[in-house]
Amino acid sequence: MSGWGRALGTSARVWVPVAAAVTAAQVLLVVGDPMPAASPGFVAAALASGAVFAIGLWLVSRALTLAIAGEPVRWRSVLTAHPALVWAIVVVVLLVLLGLLSPYLTVVGLWFGLLVMPAASDGASNPLPAAGHTIRRQPTRAILAAVVVAVVWALGALGMLLLGFFVTGPLSAALTWIALTVLGTVVLAVWTDLYARARVTR
C-alpha cells in the first residue's frame, strides 16, 4: 500500500470523526435555509462555517502528517497548539476571497492549501519555502497531483450541481460536505506524502 494509503488508515481515528463533525456542523448552520444577506445572523453563520472548516483542516492535516512520519496518531498530539491552525485559517480566507472573485479561482486556493498545509503541519512557521522545495524536488509528481486536483474539483462541482437538482435542504448539504471532507482528506494525504518524499530527497 502507498504511503498516503497507510496514512489514511492510521489516522482514521482522527479524520473520520472530524469529517463527521464538520459535516454535522455545516448542516446545522444551513438549517432554516438562510439567504445570503448582510444580516448579523447570516454573517455569524458564514464565519462559523469558515471556522469549522479551518479547524477541520488543521486537525486532519496534523493527523496525516503524524501518520506519514510514522508517529502515533493520538488526539492529544493532534490538538496541541500548532502553526498549522494559523495556516488553515489563511487557506480558508484565501478560498473565500478567490471564490468571491470567481468560483473557478478556488482551484488555485486548493493548490496553495495542499502545498502549504503539509509543511505547516510539520512545524514550519513559514511553509512557503518548504512548499517551493516540494515542487523543485518532485516536479513531475507535483504537476500530476495538481492536474488530479483540478479534475476532482471539476467533477465535484459538476456533482454538486447535479445533486442540487434532485436533493435540496439539509440532506443536500450533508451529502455535499461528507463528499468534500472525505475526498479532501484523500487528496491532502497524497500531497502530504508528496511533501514527505521531497524532504527525504534533500
**Full pLDDT tens readout for the chain, 202 residues:** 568 889 999 999 999 999 999 999 988 887 765 555 556 777 788 889 999 999 999 999 999 999 998 898 999 889 876 789 999 999 999 999 999 899 889 999 999 999 999 999 998 778 889 888 888 888 899 999 999 999 988 888 777 777 666 656 677 778 888 988 999 999 999 999 999 988 765 5
Q: How far, in Å, CA of 28 to CA of 49, rounded?
A: 10
Q: How far, in Å, CA of 156 to CA of 88, rounded?
A: 21
Nearest Cα residue to 60 out of 153, 200, 193, 189:
189
Helices 106-121 and 40-68 pack at an angle, to 10 degrees, of 50
